[in-house]
Structure 1
Amino acid sequence: MDLEIILVFAVLAVTILLFLTEWFPIDKIAFLIIVSLIILGLVEPEDAISGFADPATVTVLCLMIIAIGLEDNGVIDWLTQAIKRVSILPLILITPVFMLISASISAFISTTAVVIIFIRIVSQLASKYGFSASKLLMPISFAGILGGSCTLMGTSTNLIVNSVAQNLGAERLGFFEFTVYGLIFLAIGVVFMTIASRWLPKDVQLDPADTFGIQEYLFTVTLTEKSDLIGKKLSDTLLNDNPEISIIKLIRDMNVINAPGKYISLKEGDELVLMGQVEDLAKFIHEDDLILHKERKPLDGVEEQTKKEKVKQAPILKYVELLILPGSNLIGKTLRKVRKSRIYNAFPLALQKRKNIRNTKARLIRKDINDIRIKPGDRLLVEMQGESFRDLERIENVAVLNEHEIEDSIPRFRKLSTLMILLAVIGLASSGVLSILASSLTGVGLLLLTNNISLEQIYHKVNWQIVFLLAGMIPLGIAMSNTGTDAWITEQLMKLLSGQSSMMVLGLIFIFTMLLSGTISNNATAIIMTPIAISLATGFDAPLKPFILAVMFAANFSFFTPVGYQTNALIYGTGVYKFRHFLFVGGILSIMLAITATLLLSTLL
């Protein structure tokens, strides 16, 4: 084994480790990959940055921009209102119908955006009709992934596999070339998840305020000189044995007292870290003259006066809950750091950690609330002026979960023209008149010319982490090819699989790709596995297409874990499901699809 191959394996191993541990954001990992490949001499500098101009990267960027246009011009709102009408169906039909709707939309629009829409819709319907939302969210997420696997533009993974395969000499995949296979997988998924939904956790009459609204948050409050709590023992206050509000710690003169005893007397300036619901804490703070977080800055336009005058002159405020999605630039930051930067004139008040076995009250007691790092699935409670609410929609990879009535002032023409542009992109790409890259670029150009989107919107709302991830992983694939790493892996696999049928090799490629996608990013998996699959197909003198499709489908089908695919991480972050639900239900579905895919794709051998 050459030194260059060893170095590529080292970079690959470190990359996988960083993805698994989430020590750094994915865009930082991608940039470090580029730098390491250049320093180690594994690729030329020009090749190291070629990922930014790769057709897959540019196409994904354009499709994200088109999705932003659809959202900002009210097309998504149209869609939301139409989906809500499905609630008139019998409950037994809601799961398959919602799955089919999710799949149909995800074939042409970002799956993540579709799932966010459904989270809000399902929470409202569950509250209204008294059924369990947990029976729907996982099936909807899985259906979105399956639907995205039906067309070339359905997922970024499809585009990446197609681009990498083309660079290695394979023929370009057509827009609907693999749709038949995707529909078969979708049918299996719909039938299975409709039956398997009975195994999912049941939460009776899920209320948006309970599961997708405001739950228990961590707050820091400070006792003022007028507080009635001064001089009282904790046992003599509302905090004593209060089921609604828990005291996590007391901070006095820079000293931290974890889980303070009920006989401790309170003093002016004491800071209390409390856990509870917003309404209960707000009442407690108001009645006992407390300040909500001492580092808080005055609102814009409000002069520094006495606290009572400030309250009288302050504008009407709203509390808004934000769900942190994978890829958000808030991930990894502490509450203290986020407070300093402000979020579109919204002040972060409190943080709710994602429900899992690690985020126990005992563990939170040991940490400073302001130094707890934000992770995907956490929720951030912010306070803001009502008129600034729409600004929150500009935050990348953050879902606004609270329901607010916002006046619809978008002209009908803009909605229709944006929808027509999307249909034109689909039509041009599917008919073969233009490539998916050319048609998506044309779509973005039309959005800009019609003023249906602005460059400012693009700069602020595009998920640049995905762009950097693709740009960083593509040169890693180039390094594997240039150094002969993919050829070496293929040679070892050829020896190991000697005497096996092409069908068996195809099945093993599918299973290994699916397992890898369940531990790291599906896009990263596609870039790593596509060259290996093509080399194996060449070595076994088999057609390339079934092996390329095997990687593409398998990289998407990591249903057995919430890690691999963004939508699974999103519904996992709601706290409704535990890891075992993905492992059990998603695992069975993954096995069924792996067997079916191997049998179907082997007909192309």
Structure 2
Amino acid sequence: METSILLVFILIGVTVVLFVTEFFPVDKIAFFIIAALIVSQLTTAEEAISGFSNPAVITILALMILAVALEDNGVIEWLTQLIKKLKILPLILLTPAFMIVSATISSFISTTAVVIIFLKIVSQLAERYNFSATKLLMPISFAGILGGSCTLMGTSTNLIVNAVAQQAGVASFSFFEFTWYGLIFLAVGIVFMSVASHFLPKDKNTDLQTTYDIESYIFTVKVSETSDLKGKSISEVQFISEELATPLKLIRDKKVINAPGKYIEIKTGDNLVLMSSFEHINTIVQQHDLIINEKRRESQKNTFGDGDIAAQSDMTYIELLILPGSHLIGNTLKKIRKMSLNGAYPIAIKKRKNLRNTTERLIRKNIKDIRIKPGDRLLIELQEQHINKLRAIDNVAILNQHDYSRQTPKRRKITALLILLGVIGLASSSFLSILSASVLGVAAMLLFRLISLENIYHRINWQIIFLLAGMIPLGIAMSNSGADLWISDQLQNLLTNQPSYVVIGLLLGITMILSGFISNNATAIILTPVAIGLAAGLNLEVKPFILAVLFGANFSFFTPVGYQTNTLIYGTGLYKFKHFLVIGGLLTIVLWVCGTVILTKAL
């Protein structure tokens, strides 16, 4: 094996580990990849940054802007109202109906945006009509993934696979070229999840104060002069001994004691960092005269003014789910408290579970220094009549049962929707490429003043853009070094004289497994050149091999980290990892068998 090939494999291995452990944000990993490619001379500097000008990346950026425009002009809210009408269906039909709607919209609009819509709708309907949201959210997420696989513009993965294949000299896919395959997979998924949804957990308690488990949130409370805790040791505190709250650290005179021992005496002015549920912490604060958020009054005063007496009362707690693209991502709780949140004051944080997010790790960090990531949740406090102002905060989901309405002129809704339909029509008719059609769509939105670029810069999910820009050159490095051909040769030697269904099945299975642990886009970039080389070496039709990577990279169901929509519903806390492993794993196996049969017949 040549040194350059070995270097590529080492770089891919390190990248996979970083993705799985989430040691760094994905955009930072992308920059590290670019730098590593330049230093190792696996690519030229120009090739290392070529991802930023890749047509697929620009297309994805334009489609993101169109999605923001649809939301700003009320089209998404329009869809929301139409979807809510499905509540008249009996519960047995609600799952397949929601899945069909989710899949249909996801074929043309960002799957993540679609799942965000349903995340809000389902939580409202579950409270109002007394059914379990857990029975719907996972099927909806999976349907969005399957629906996005039906058209060329359905997901960024499809566009990336098509772009990599084009660079290798393969003819481009047309807009609906693989739609029939996608529809078959969708039908299988709907039937499977309609049955499997009955085995998902029930959770009818959607009220904010009753849905949190122990160790849900991290709070900082201050011991007041009148608190009965002063003078007591940690072991003498009843709520600690009864395990209603876990003390992570004690802060005294700016000195931090991590995991304070049971003999440490509590004094006035001490700050205790506790991990507990909202319900328990609320009771603890009231019973022991603790201060949970002493700065909030000053925040309210600055926001509403001295004359607003109501600002000092009728306070309510709201839970915000942080979505990809939020301007809060990367900020610490301390910094967010200084930012404008439209009168809301963040008092606690709940971290999304991952391999690195452990209690020990949280103990070693000051709560104010913990950075926000997609899937995290903030507990905020604000005046009840100002809840509507939270709509102005971009890319967050409000996980409370409130109805919000925003008046948008009907003319703007219709114009924005017609522009989207125009983009779809031009791209699907092959009159223009998806890149050309999407760029023209953005230009039309600007022309009719439906969007302002200055207002959407902070709402684009730049992490995806930088991830793609960093991973695409890695594919170039595989080609430059011959790593893709080396892998193809090894597979060819292994699979020579094997039936074609074994070859397709192996490629599809490997892709599915890899996409469960790292980004589906990264999986597609790594394996598409391998699939093309393998098809050429075995003298077989190349497009079924490319489709095996396309569908396999999209079909990430058995973990909550391989696809953004799974991460979002996992972040709600309604599901455990085992639910994805069992339900998603079985669906993966069913689709793997189905895909192997269908794609083998296409050879």
Same fold (TM over 0.5): yes
SS at match of 2:95: helix
Q: Whole-Å Cα distance in 2 between the matches of residues 399 and 267 of structure 1?
A: 39
* Residues 17, 230 of structure 1: alpha-carbon distance in 2 compared, 3 angstrom cutoff: closer
CA offset at residue 353 of structure 1? 3.2
Structure 1: how far apart are the matches of 2:129 and 2:115? Answer: 20
Kept in 2, the 8 Å contact 1:514–1:558? The answer is: yes
Query: Equivalences for 1:109-508 in 2 at 5 Å?
Result: 109-207=109-207, 210-211=210-211, 216-225=216-225, 249-253=249-253, 254=255, 256=257, 258=259, 266-276=266-276, 278=278, 281=281, 285=285, 290-293=290-293, 298-299=298-299, 302=302, 319-325=317-323, 334-336=332-334, 338-339=336-337, 346-354=344-352, 368-383=366-381, 390=389, 393-396=392-395, 398-508=396-506
* C-alpha contact (below 8 Å) 2:325/2:458 kept by paired residues: no
Q: CA deviation at 1:577?
A: 1.6
| SS class of match (1:351) | strand
Aligned amino acid, residue 173 of structure 2: L
Task: Give, in angstroms, the shift of residue 167 of structure 1.
Answer: 1.0
C-alpha separation in 2, matches of 1:351 and 1:570: 16
Cα distance in 1 between the residues matched to 2:223 and 2:271: 7
Structure-2 residue corresponding to 1:105: 105
Cα deviation, residue 193, structure 1: 0.7
Taking the aligned partners of 1:438 and 1:264, their CA distance within structure 2 comes to 67
C-alpha contact 1:319 1:381 (8 A) present in aligned 2 = yes
Describe the SS at the equivalent of 1:320: strand
The change in CA–CA distance for 1:327 and 1:3 in structure 2 (over 3 A counts) is farther
Alpha-carbon separation, structure 2, partners of 1:326 and 1:515? 24
Work out the CA distance in 1 between the residues paired with 2:528 and 2:460: 27
Shift of 1:363: 7.8
Amino acid at match of 1:516: L
Residues 1:319 and 1:449: Cα distance change in structure 2 (over 3 Å): farther
Q: What aligned pairs does 1:539-578 form with structure 2 within 5 A after superposition? A: 539-578=537-576
Alpha-carbon distance, 1:399 to partner: 2.7
> Does the residue aligned with 1:219 lie in a helix, a strand or coil?
strand
Asked if structure 1 preserves the Cα contact closer than 8 Å seen for 2:214 and 2:276, the reply is no
Query: In 2, Cα distance between the equivalents of 1:16 and 1:312?
Result: 52
How many Å apart are 1:110 and its aligned residue?
1.1
Instruction: Judge conservation of contact 2:258–2:364 (CA < 8 Å) in 1.
Output: no
Q: Is 1:86 paired with 2:86?
A: yes
Instruction: Give the whole-Å Cα distance in 2 for the aligned partners of 1:460 and 1:244.
Output: 40
The answer on whether the counterparts of 2:212 and 2:278 sit within 8 Å (CA) in structure 1 is: no
Distance 1:136 1:473 in 2: 34
For residue 482 of structure 1, what is the amino acid of its counterpart? N
- Alpha carbons of structure 1 residues 239 and 215: separation in structure 2 relative to 1, 3 Å: closer
Q: Distance in 1 between matches of 2:462 and 2:354?
A: 28
**Matches of 1:227 and 1:310 in 2, distance apart?**
30
* 1:26 alignment partner AA: V
Q: Quote the sequence identity (%).
A: 58
Q: C-alpha displacement at 1:82, in angstroms? A: 1.4
Cα pair distance change 1:202/1:244, threshold 3 Å:
same
Distance 1:154 1:134 in 2: 25
**Greater CA deviation, 379-388 or 188-197?**
379-388
CA contact (8 A) 2:215 2:275 kept: no
- Determine if contact 2:212/2:277 at 8 Å carries over to the other structure: no
* CA–CA distance in structure 1, aligned partners of residues 515 and 583 of structure 2: 17
Tell me: CA distance 1:329–1:242, structure 2 relative to 1, closer, same or farther (3 Å).
Answer: same
Return the alpha-carbon distance in structure 1 between the equivalents of residues 595 and 66 of structure 2. 31
Kindly indicate whether the alpha-carbon contact (under 8 Å) linking 2:322 and 2:377 is maintained by their aligned counterparts in 1: yes
Q: Deviations over 1:64-111 (max 9, x none)?
A: 111111111111111111111111111111111111111111111111
- Against the structure 1 CA distance between its residues 537 and 383, is the aligned structure 2 distance closer, same or farther, given a 3 Å change threshold? same
Question: Contact 1:248 / 1:273 at 8 angstroms: preserved in 2?
Answer: yes
**SS where residue 251 of structure 2 aligns?**
strand
Q: Is the 2:62–2:439 contact (alpha carbons within 8 Å) kept by the matching residues of 1?
A: yes
Alpha-carbon distance in 1 for matches of 2:54, 2:488: 25
Contact 1:215-1:278 at 8 Å conserved across structures: no
Q: Which residue type is aligned with residue 535 of structure 2?
A: A
Residues 239 and 284, structure 2, Cα contact 8 Å, conserved in 1: no
Deviates more, 1:281-290 or 1:49-58: 281-290
Which residue identity lines up with residue 533 of structure 1 in the other structure? A
Amino acid at match of 2:17: L
Shift of 1:230: 5.3
Q: TM-score, normalised by structure 2?
A: 0.89
AA of the residue aligned to 1:130: N
Residue by residue, what CA displacement relative to the aligned partner does 1:556-590 show, whole Å, maximum 9, x if unpaired? 01211112111111111222222221111111111
Q: Please report how far the alpha carbon of residue 380 of structure 1 lies from its aligned counterpart in structure 2 after TM superposition.
A: 1.1
Q: Distance in 2 between matches of 1:312 and 1:87?
A: 36
Is contact 2:527-2:549 (8 Å) kept? yes
Matched residues in 2 for 1:532 and 1:489: separation?
7
Q: CA deviation at 1:299?
A: 2.6
Read off the aligned partner of 1:123 and give its amino acid letter.
Answer: S
Distance 2:236 2:538 in 1: 79
Which of 583, 587, 594 is residue 592 of structure 2 equivalent to?
A: 594
> SS of the counterpart of 2:574?
coil
Letter in 2 for 1:401: L
Q: Any idea what SS the aligned residue of 1:549 has?
A: helix
Is the partner of 1:299 in helix, strand or coil?
Answer: helix
- Give, in angstroms, the shift of residue 10 of structure 1: 1.8
Change (3 A) 1:243 1:481: closer
Cα contact 2:55–2:163 (8 A) shared by 1: yes
Judge conservation of contact 2:330–2:373 (CA < 8 Å) in 1.
yes
Q: Distance in 2 between matches of 1:174 and 1:547?
A: 16
Maintained 8 Å contact 1:221/1:292: yes
Question: Quick check: 343-352 or 92-101, which moved more?
Answer: 343-352
Cα separation, 1, equivalents of 2:287 and 2:163: 62
Distance in 2 separating the partners of 1:153 and 1:290: 54
8 A contact 2:107–2:153 mirrored in 1: yes
Cα distance in structure 1, aligned partners of 2:249 and 2:531:
55
Indicate the larger mover: 443-452 or 485-494.
Answer: 485-494
1:182-237 superposed Cα distances (whole Å, 9 cap, x missing partner): 11000000001111112212224544654499995322122344667656788999
Q: CA deviation at 1:32?
A: 1.1
1:15 aligns with 2:15: yes
Distance 2:302 2:214 in 1: 27
Cα distance in 2 between the residues matched to 1:392 and 1:193:
32
- The answer to whether the Cα contact below 8 Å between 1:239 and 1:245 also exists between their aligned partners in 2 is yes
Q: CA deviation at 1:514?
A: 0.8
Letter of the structure 1 residue corresponding to residue 568 of structure 2: L
Q: 1:327 to 1:29 in 2, by over 3 A?
A: farther
The one-letter amino acid paired with 1:484 is G
Bigger shift: residues 55-64 or 267-276: 267-276
Q: C-alpha separation between the residues in 2 aligned to 1:356 and 1:434?
A: 42
- Tell me, in whole angstroms, the C-alpha distance in 2 between the residues paired with 1:357 and 1:442: 42
Partner of 1:75: 75
Deviates more, 1:473-482 or 1:247-256: 247-256
Question: TM-score with structure 1 length normalisation?
Answer: 0.89
Q: What is the CA distance between 1:337 and its match in structure 2? A: 5.1
Distance in structure 1 (CA, Å) of the matches to 2:20 and 2:237: 45
Q: Which residue of 1 aligns with 2:519?
A: 521
Partners of 1:17 and 1:361 in 2: CA distance: 21
- CA gap of 1:244–1:83, structure 2 versus 1, over 3 A, is farther
